[in-house]
A = this chain, B = another copy of it.
Amino acid sequence: MTRITLALDAMGGDHAPTVVVKGAEIARERFPFVDFAFFGPEPQIQPLLAKAPKLAKVATVHHTDVVVAADARPSVALRAGRGSSMRLALDAVAAGQARAAVSAGNTGALMAMAKFALRTLPGIDRPAIASFFPTARGESVMLDLGANVICDARNLTQFAFLGEAFARTVLGLSRPSIGLLNVGAEDQKGREELKEAAQMLRDSQLNAQFLGFVEGDDIAAGRVDVIVTDGFTGNVALKTAEGTARLISGFLKESFRASLLARLGYVFARPAFGKFRERIDPRRYNGAIFLGLNGIAVKSHGGTDALGFANAIGVAVDMVVHGFLDRIRADLAHAPSSPQPAVAE
């Protein structure tokens, strides 16, 4: 396999640069064909690489002292963060020196910079944030998860194209099904832009894969492979699901501690529980994907550990290896529903 280079923002996230370097070390074992370009302060990164000699062999360090603060406003980050580790990682992708960028930094800043550095794909007005997660039937992808708090029918339709291409290339589904998140499955329900988007999808080449409206409980049920929604609703839905999973895990732990017998039961059930814990482990689904840009950018959760960061790297690698960008470009070229030229932002 031809080698590919990934650009890593070494200073993004709560435990940077340690988690970034350790995550890359895990990813290196999984993906021996990847070279890693670290962007950040050399005096902090080199000592970490010295402890990971195998990684050091496939790593380069691109020094900068500028770091985007975790709470920086996107507009401020965009103006003041030109030489930052985050921005330089994205610039490397824009310049073709890296195939994808991964950062655990400030989401808003990363999206603003990614839009500026990579530009949106032809046929796409606004990029979206996507993520995949476990369902009763396998895995689904949902977007937008927060890039656009208000979306019109055209945005939603474009998100459907982006999500479908992602599910096809990265999740490996041959004809992913698509649903629009709404408050009822009936055609007359919900907001106007949803009814309009439904019509646009029925008129597009995605018609046969579009199953209409889905509801909140259809997300975890896996009723469709791609859930399309605006960034406000998607963000609330994703975080509500995460919070609910945490609550139930907490209740479960309490139950096992409630009595001696329950503790004993836990000991017996423990091996089987390993799989359960793995299935709902948020680190497994770490890596929010910025879709709709002329380049691949993946956002890791800021609080994740090395394993979680390695999984975010894995998402970026999958997108490169499976040629996501070429596929979505080809799809959009034939999309009758977004014939207008892209609006550069």
Question: In the bound complex, how far is the Cα of B183 from the Cα of A235, in angstroms?
Answer: 6
Interface string of A70-113 (1 = CB under 8 A from B): 01010000000000000000000000000000000000000000
**For the complex, what is the distance from the CA of A259 to the CA of B275, rounded to whole Å?**
12
Residue of B nearest to A232 (CB): B183
CA distance A261 to B267 in the complex (A): 9
Given contacts A255-B269, A269-B256, A272-B261, A217 and B243 within 8 Å (CB-CB): yes
- Which B residues lie within 8 Å of A71 (CB)? 186
A235 to B219, CA, bound (A): 13
Residue A52, interface by CB 8 Å: no
Most chain B CB inside 10 Å of its own CB: which residue of A220, A247, A258, A264:
A247
Does the CB pair A251–B279 fall under 8 Å?
yes
Interface string of A185-222 (1 = CB under 8 A from B): 01010110000000000000000000000011111110
* Interface residue? A344 (CB, 8 A): no
| Chain B residues whose CB sits within 8 angstroms of the CB of A269 once the complex forms | 255-256, 261-262, 264-266, 269
A221 touches B236 (CB 8 A): no
Name which residue of chain B comes closest to A146, CB basis. B183
Rounded to whole angstroms, the CA-CA distance of A224 and B245 in the bound complex is 18
Interface size class of A (residues with CB under 8 A): 35 or more
Query: Does A250 sit within 8 A of B, measured CB to CB?
Result: yes
Contacts of A149 in B (CB 8 A): 183, 190-191
Contact assessment for A276 and B252 in the assembled complex, using a CB-CB cutoff below 8 Å: yes
Q: Are A221 and B248 in contact (CB under 8 A)?
A: no
Choose among B135, B237, B247, B264 the residue that contacts A237 (Cβ–Cβ < 8 A): B237
Chain B CB within 8 A of A271 CB: yes
With a CB–CB cut-off of 8 A, which chain B residues contact A276?
251-252, 254-255
Instruction: Determine whether the beta carbon of A280 is less than 8 Å from that of B248.
Output: yes
Is A240 within 8 A of B219, CB to CB? yes
Report Cα–Cα, A269/B220, bound state, in Å.
Answer: 26
Is A216 touching B240 in the complex (CB atoms < 8 A)? yes
Q: Does A273 contact B (CB under 8 A)?
A: yes
Q: Identify the 5 closest CB pairs spanning chains A and B, nearest first.
A: A216-B239, A265-B269, A265-B268, A217-B243, A262-B272
What are 19 of the A-B contact pairs (CB < 8 Å)?
Answer: A135-B247, A146-B183, A149-B183, A183-B236, A215-B235, A216-B236, A216-B238, A216-B239, A217-B240, A217-B246, A218-B243, A220-B240, A240-B241, A244-B244, A251-B280, A261-B268, A261-B271, A262-B271, A265-B269
Which of A's residues lie within 8 Å of B, judged by CB? 71, 73, 134-136, 146, 149-150, 181, 183, 186, 188, 190-191, 215-221, 229, 231-233, 235-252, 254-256, 258-259, 261-262, 264-273, 275-276, 279-280
